[in-house]
Amino acid sequence: MSKLKIAVQKSGRLYEDSLQLLKDCGIFINNGKDQLKVSVDNFPMEIMYLRNSDIPQYLEDGVVDIAIVGENLLVEKQKKITVVQKLGFSKCRVSLAVPKEIETDDLAYFQDKKIATSYPNTLKNFLEKNKITADIHVISGSVEIAPNIGLADGICDIVSSGSTLFKNGLRETVTLLQSEAVLAKTSSLDQEKEVILEKFLFRIKAVLKAKKSKYILMNVPNEKISDIASVLPVLKSPTVIPLAEKGWSSIHSVIDEERFWEVIDELKENGAQDILIIPIDKMVI
């Protein structure tokens, strides 16, 4: 039987979260020290630990079938690769930044300026789209130091919290693109491996849906059940279980993490009591 070859970073900011996602999907890895290729016993998959910058090329060439990789890297490398699922972790943005003493956030500041970056293609396309002419200096690492040593007037780099910029006397001005970890696939995937990928995607979606949801239980007076049910953003309809105390029921449902406090306030206003929230491990729809 074919095995789906998946590439993950052998080190870097996506490494731990990538392995955790595989574990949450029931894929258990027994890799020895310094192993760069590992077979999985309980799923038709083979894991390859690769250097982050090499992954897009390996995908395009079909050396690996799928990969967990930063969306920003795919944009920069401009390869013929399909994103099949956004994964919700390692969120960041590619942004322009300037020395903190520069007061303007206007993109026009960069006209005829020098910009240091590790993302020359992303930056070049953005500047051309906005009709800005600038001198791009490509640096493989430690981009933030460039303005301090007189190499550039500003930088274009990945930003997460912004703390690295702050420590180097820089501040963020313009965001070029938002990014997160994604599952991407090669264009040369055969039918047998497509079937395996669909099974893997089914597991991923169950895990991601669970992370965005909470299981909720509450006690409600029977005359308030219809009011409470109208508040709950449920999958179909809430579960209603009569309590031993006459005139009361327990309602069970699922709520979206993003609307959590808003929904809780509405439930209390409509008579819900003894509200219990439980995390969800997996959610299969």
Question: How many domains are contained in the chain?
Answer: 3
- Do 159 and 108 lie in one domain? The reply is yes
The residue from 161, 190, 210 where one domain ends is: 210
Quick check: is 54 in a domain? yes
Structure tokens at 46: 């083979």
Containing 24, the helix (H) or strand (E) segment is helix 15-24
- Do 120 and 44 lie in one domain? The reply is no
- Do 9 and 62 lie in one domain? The reply is yes
Quick check: is 38 in a domain? yes
**Whole domain around residue 261: which residue ranges?**
213-279
Per residue of the chain (285 residues), give pLDDT as tens: 789 999 999 888 899 999 999 999 999 887 655 778 888 889 999 999 999 999 999 999 999 999 999 999 999 999 889 999 999 999 999 999 999 999 999 999 999 999 999 999 999 999 999 999 999 999 987 899 999 999 999 999 999 888 999 999 999 999 999 999 999 999 888 999 999 999 999 999 999 999 888 899 999 999 999 988 888 865 667 889 999 999 999 999 888 888 888 888 999 999 999 999 998 888 887
Question: Distance between CA atoms of 80 and 72, rounded to whole angstroms?
Answer: 14
- Do 133 and 243 lie in one domain? The reply is no
- Do 103 and 55 lie in one domain? The reply is no
- Do 37 and 15 lie in one domain? The reply is yes
- Do 114 and 217 lie in one domain? The reply is no
- Do 50 and 128 lie in one domain? The reply is no
pTM of the model: 0.84
CATH of the domain at 231: 3.30.70.120
Quick check: is 199 in a domain? yes
Quick check: is 284 in a domain? no
Quick check: is 120 in a domain? yes
- Do 43 and 84 lie in one domain? The reply is yes
Q: Work out the angle between the directed axes of helices 15-24 and 191-211 (0-180°, nearest 10).
A: 100
Question: What is the structure's pLDDT at 219?
Answer: 95
Cα 176 to Cα 130, 156, 273, 276: the distances in Å are 11, 9, 47, 42
Structure tokens at 271: 């008579």
User: Would you call 66 exposed, middle or buried from its count of C-beta atoms within 10 A (0-12, 13-18, 19+)?
Assistant: buried
Alpha helices in 151-233, H assignment, sequence order: 163-167, 191-211, 225-231
Structure tokens at 64: 């690996």
- Do 82 and 11 lie in one domain? The reply is yes
- Do 238 and 193 lie in one domain? The reply is no
- Do 98 and 77 lie in one domain? The reply is no
CATH of the domain at 150: 3.40.190.10
Cα 100 to Cα 166, 248, 266: the distances in Å are 8, 60, 44
Question: What is the structure's pLDDT at 33?
Answer: 56
Quick check: is 141 in a domain? yes
Quick check: is 10 in a domain? yes
Quick check: is 285 in a domain? no
For the stretch 261-268, contacts whose Cβ atoms lie closer than 8 Å and that sit 24 or more positions apart, written own/partner, are 263/231, 263/232, 263/233, 266/231, 267/218, 267/228, 267/231, 267/232
Question: Distance between CA atoms of 137 and 63, rounded to whole angstroms?
Answer: 31
